[in-house]
Chains A and B, each alone.
Chain A
Amino acid sequence: MDVNRREVLKVLMGGSAVAAVAAAGAPVATAGDSQEFALDPEAVGLMYDATKCIGCRACMPACQNANGLKPDVGGSGGLYMQPDTLNAHTKNLIKLYTAPDGSERSFMKQQCMHCVDPACVSGCPMKALHKEPKGVVGWDPVLCIGCRYCQVACPFNIPKFEWDTVNPKIVKCELCRHIVGKTVSQPACTQVCPTHAVVYGKRSDLLAEAKRRIKEKPGYYFEDRVYGENEVGGTQCLVLSHVDYTNLGLPKLSNESPAAKSRQVSDFVYRGFLTPVVVYGGIVAIVRKRWKEHLEHEGGDTTHGEEKRA
């Protein structure tokens, strides 16, 4: 019994030694990894400045027309109603926050933030959700199996699912990637915004502009901070407002992407798939030995009970 336990430990320790050697080589792999998920210098996005938004909601029907979405009529039989949150008919929604004491108000444009290192893309088993050139987070109906892990993973609760059809799709803002650069130069929402509260452009330009506005009016914007600059490793859609971002439905999040954290744990355990191979080899060695003992004990050739008893 003791001898056997020792053998097992020996094999397991052998495995960890190999894993340790592999760990030494790991930084090389990690460097490539971070390259793959880093910010594309050409990445595009939106900047929404809530202080400039007048709440006209022109962007909402524009979005629906550009994306072929039917108006959300709920169960009304045709009467359009403003939904209370994003849904399978709504990729873009203007909300209004009013403080309980009425002291401050701010509009909010709810939509996909187009994370630099998105949890939905990292979680998607089939690469249906993926990063397009220029960092747009796109969805591919040909690959999606409808598992909805993207909905579980998204820290902003953005991807929506068509619950009422047998051919359901994932619905979320894709920055009008099907028309931008082809028939139009910018997404529908920025095209129609009368006050330029939401603008389209290169993320680096947008971030610089956001910072310029903060510098111009110190103390005006909440915490003098652009939401999305660093949250979950950065998002390509940036938000500026004078009220606390959590009141606008933008949660307080760490600066590390959950996708990156998840990959770190997997990389640590799997070591480029070396761990499973080492464990498998170790177990084969142990079980082969046991199997040989078993065959010797029970009769090597495949005989059956009757013959043995006879």
Chain B
Amino acid sequence: MTATWERCIRLKEPLKTRPFLIFAGLAALGLLLGAYRELTGLGYVTGLNDGYSWGLFKNWNVTALTALGSGGYAVAVLAWIFNEKRFHPIMRTAVLTSLLGYGTGMLALGFDVGRPWNFVWLADPRTWNHYSVLWEVAVCMTAYFILALDVENMPPFLEKMYRSGDPTKKEKAMKIFRFMQRTFPFGIALAFTLPSMHQSSLGQLMYLAGPRVHPLWQTPLLGLLYLLMAYILGFACVLLVLALSSYAWNLGWDADIMQRLGQIMAWAITVWLVVRYADLAYRGALGYIFAFNKFSIYFLIEEALIIVPTLLLFSKANRESPAALFRLTFLICVGGLVYRFTPTTLAFSPLGDYHYFPSTFEILMSIGFTALAVAVFLYAVKTYAILPASQGKIAAEEAMRPFDTL
């Protein structure tokens, strides 16, 4: 089972397997319901109301799940800035999960806004409210998606073009490759700067709500905490996707890469916890922890899901066991998502008598967006050289140099 992942390979498996069809079906259902939502008002199909006007789409699919989509950003920081070269073979998997996380998040946002036709005014800088944190998120996320994520995900497509057998396509692919070779560092730097901005802004959004968010979560440092959590969840997502892929398609287990990822994640959580509790202490909010009202229960669940597996991750034996590493990372992932979700919904109290629980329609749409990401992932790894494999496994469609180990 142990392996050393060195190159990316395309899986030579039929696409239309049962899991693919299930995910594709759920995605189609979600999109169909989305189309229906566009023909009715939001109120008919969702549980949203004037008190809780943001629900599953924004708070779960965007605020929480794009943190999972930060894998490309988080692993790139390790590979490029801290020069941990061992992570290069998993970069393609990481940037693909990012593309899908952000893509489906932005799709959810598109279905959530009530007057999407007015997005055209974003083209006119006079309408920009640059004081608006939400404007920053919208523009910065779009820029990241178009300028950085698409470019980072180019090499597998170009390889396919190159090997298509058509000489004009081959020539074109080479041209783009040469251009990318010159401009690549500028793109990578953008892929660092932009997510740093919007992942923190996603937290800062709720700061404007002031006293409506419970003091266990409301802090001027929301942005920093959300940003750190984006790193943690980014690592977690890449680790879980690789573990599941390795199990499903027998890719072997690169213990060096995986345990190191787990170790870095544990340290990142430690930093997050220091900031979290120092902030709570500084604001004098520690007392709320043991109030044993619903907020204190949410807090304790969230912290237990994060702290307990992190402590266990500091043991090397746990990190070297694929099963233990997978389970601990999964728990951290759940805890981290709970943290990113809570300030927007569970710890949010509008004035007056309002309650929110997502409608079945809303839940099916939200699941559909995630299913779409999974279905596209399955398609991509069977069409392009994405997943890492050891040298021995490499077949004719070995990835292109010098982009093969990115």
Contact = CB atoms under 8 A, between A and B. Distances in A.
Given A163-B49, A164-B43, A283-B188, A145 B132 contact: no
Nearest to B54: A152
Contacts of A291: 184-185, 188
Given A147-B113, A262-B133, A284-B186, A168 B181 contact: no
B402 A295 contact: yes
Contact of A146 (B115, B190, B405): B115
A151 B350 CA distance: 9
Identify the interface centre among A146, A165, A262: most chain B CB within 10 Å of its CB. A262
Interface residues of B, number: 76
Contact of A122 (B132, B174, B212): B132
Interface in A95-150: 119, 121-128, 141-149
Nearest to B348: A152
Interface in A75-97: 84-88
A147 B188 contact: no
Interface in A258-310: 258-259, 261-263, 265-266, 269, 276, 279-280, 283-284, 286-288, 290-291, 294-295, 298-300, 302-306, 308
A302 B401 contact: yes
B193 A283 contact: yes
Contacts of A262: 133, 204, 207-208
Nearest to B397: A305
A251 B133 contact: no
Contact of A119 (B112, B204, B210): B210
A287 B132 contact: no
A214 interface: no
A231 B142 CA distance: 36
Nearest to A156: B351
B167 interface: no
Identify the interface centre among B50, B174, B190, B211: most chain A CB within 10 Å of its CB. B50
A286 B118 contact: no
A123 B134 contact: yes
Interface in B165-208: 174, 177-178, 181, 184-186, 188-190, 192-193, 196-197, 200, 204-208
Nearest to A1: B83
B254 interface: no
Given A146-B116, A164-B44, A124 B82 contact: no
Given A151-B53, A155-B210, A287-B188, A142 B401 contact: no
B181 A127 contact: no
Interface string A235-274: 0000000000000010101100011011101100100000
A151 B50 contact: yes
Interface string B127-161: 11101111100100000000000000000000100
Nearest to A11: B81
Contact of B53 (A161, A254, A294): A161
Interface stretch (B24-32, B34-42, B324-332): B34-42
Given A262-B208, A304-B162, A287 B134 contact: no
A280 B188 CA distance: 10
A151 to B, nearest CB: 4
B336 interface: no
A5 B204 CA distance: 29
A298 B402 contact: yes
A144 to B, nearest CB: 5
A265 B205 CA distance: 11
Contacts of A160: 50
Interface in B337-363: 348, 350-353
B279 interface: no
B127 A283 contact: no
A152 B209 contact: yes
A157 B118 CA distance: 24
B404 A166 contact: no
B51 interface: yes
Contact of B204 (A161, A265, A303): A265
Contact of B223 (A88, A254, A265): A265
Given A262-B204, A280-B189, A287-B81, A168 B129 contact: no
A35 to B, nearest CB: 14
Nearest to B201: A266
Contacts of B39: 166
B50 A157 contact: yes
A287 B80 contact: yes
Contact of A269 (B190, B223, B396, B399): B223
A286 B192 CA distance: 12
A124 B61 CA distance: 21
Nearest to A296: B402
B220 interface: yes
A102 B114 CA distance: 44
A162 interface: yes
Contact of A126 (B129, B352, B398): B129
B285 interface: no
B121 interface: yes
A128 B135 CA distance: 12
Contacts of B115: 141, 144-146, 167-168
A4 interface: yes
Given A146-B115, A265-B207, A291-B184, A168 B42 contact: yes
Nearest to A120: B208
B401 A148 contact: no
B132 A249 contact: no
A308 to B, nearest CB: 6
B220 A302 contact: no
A38 interface: no
16 contacts: A87-B50, A119-B208, A122-B131, A125-B128, A127-B128, A144-B115, A145-B116, A147-B114, A151-B50, A152-B209, A157-B351, A157-B352, A162-B41, A262-B207, A283-B188, A302-B174
Interface of A: 1, 4-5, 8, 84-88, 119, 121-128, 141-149, 151-153, 155-157, 160-168, 249, 251, 253-254, 258-259, 261-263, 265-266, 269, 276, 279-280, 283-284, 286-288, 290-291, 294-295, 298-300, 302-306, 308
Given A87-B50, A146-B116, A147-B113, 15 more contacts: A1-B83, A122-B131, A126-B122, A126-B135, A127-B129, A141-B115, A149-B208, A161-B42, A163-B48, A279-B193, A287-B185, A291-B185, A291-B188, A300-B402, A302-B177
Nearest 9 CB-CB pairings of A with B: A146-B114, A163-B43, A125-B135, A146-B115, A305-B398, A258-B210, A283-B189, A151-B53, A287-B185
